[in-house]
Chain A
């Protein structure tokens, strides 16, 4: 009749099944870590034995040393902090603005019909192409970078969230109207909550897009941040800095993605 989340006594067969799954999980994880470790080991070895030129390719031990040094003089934290702040501001603003715009377009179908071709074109335009223009308009500063990051994510958010809004089962909207509900209540009780998964998904995608916007922005504005470190390191042939920045970026992106996945789990306890 129903499924209830209760603690059950498990059979031997079930226990064996569970332990098989556990073992497989452990194996996958072990291989993943081993591959990562092997990659860095190979890199280090290749550099030590002169198979590759560490001046161009850098090498893990030198990156590590550079990292320690920059952590001690504090510059690493400044760069990470800058990039992190710009990225978070970019994707949070992009998601909020995108969602609000989607609400507006959902509310007024006429405006959304008018806006449609513009959205489609804007969506396929590489937003980073606008970065130089933004910098001219707003200035050679952090605000420009955040605006570029926001631009990378806002249009795709509008499109996917609006699409989600429009796909809400019409009968569920009828349900609200049957009780005499207003359009605002249709939005608040059905359309918006039904699309929280969709908005969280947009947030996830926007993390990656926002990073792209921020790094491009930092390339151009060149004051601080990991993007700046990459460009500057490249110019003065400090490949240790460049590689280190790339790896830190990868870690940051992964951490943020995980963070949003956690948020997702918290919001979706009503799902199977």
Chain B
């Protein structure tokens, strides 16, 4: 299968008055259609920078990026616009891309209904819980029908309890909608339970350290059940070691 995303020897450097910061160094990565990839790495290593390049917000200093499809990007927090109703927030992307067709609006309404927000369409963001807001943010991203979803620690603003259920929920939604996903996380369990492959990066500048294909023996896949698989511990320990030992 032809990769939907490929990074070829990509490097990125930031320039500021105080100097040059190398953020990403000679990164190679290919993602297949429908794959769920998790990127883990020490904090500040350059994970968000990689997503910014994939989203086209930054161009690499060296190397090239090829993407075969529309990108959807979910940020660290929900960033719902407080002055817009939930429905109008979910329609934001379509509005910006001038794709507010009857069909697309219906699609958003269906998503809202399907994911338990049907009764809250005319509410304002402050009236919703953190988990619900995060779901609205996902629907806003899905509304423009992206092929590839970039998720930058989308659950980190949530408390642990909510985080578990929301990541479970959102992971299932993404699988169900058949999207390719690249998720940045600093939570190893989350990465293992959600993804097909875990990509471990070095400290800044981010280099590729190792890729772990995840294969869990469970009857029916769900991110929650994945955590109970016998192999889970092993993966966890291996990735933990890989991350921890080399932190400098």
A interface, CB within 8 angstroms of B: 1-5, 169, 171-172, 174-181, 185, 189-190, 193-194, 196, 269-272
Contacts and interface: CB of A to CB of B under 8 A. Distances in A.
A264 B92 CA distance: 24
Interface string B110-140: 0000000000100111111100100000000
A103 to B, nearest CB: 18
A171 B75 contact: yes
A193 B82 CA distance: 10
A3 B124 CA distance: 10
Nearest to A181: B96
Could you say which of A169, A175, A190, A271 has the most chain B C-beta atoms within 10 Å of its C-beta? A175
B93 interface: yes
Nearest to B70: A180
A10 to B, nearest CB: 20
19 contacts: A1-B129, A2-B127, A171-B75, A171-B77, A174-B75, A175-B79, A177-B57, A178-B57, A178-B71, A178-B75, A179-B93, A180-B97, A181-B96, A189-B96, A190-B81, A193-B83, A269-B124, A270-B125, A270-B126
Contact of A179 (B76, B97, B127, B132): B97
B55 interface: yes
B96 A271 contact: no
Nearest to B125: A270
Secondary structure class of chain B's binding surface, majority of residues: loop
Given A175-B75, A271-B126, A2 B132 contact: yes
Interface residues of B, number: 28
Nearest to B52: A174
Nearest to A272: B126
A247 B126 CA distance: 42
B235 to A, nearest CB: 31
Contacts of A3: 126-127
B144 interface: yes
B75 to A, nearest CB: 6
A1 B132 contact: yes
Given A180-B96, A181-B96, A189-B96, A270 B83 contact: yes
Given A2-B128, A3-B127, A271 B82 contact: yes
A174 B77 CA distance: 12
Contacts of B93: 179
A177 B56 CA distance: 9
B36 interface: no
Question: Which 5 pairs across A and B sit closest by C-beta, in order of nearness?
Answer: A179-B96, A178-B73, A179-B93, A270-B124, A181-B96
A205 to B, nearest CB: 22
Given A179-B97, A189-B96, A2 B81 contact: no
B92 A174 contact: no
Interface string B87-100: 00000110111000
A118 to B, nearest CB: 24
Interface in B36-82: 55, 57, 71, 73, 75-77, 79, 81-82
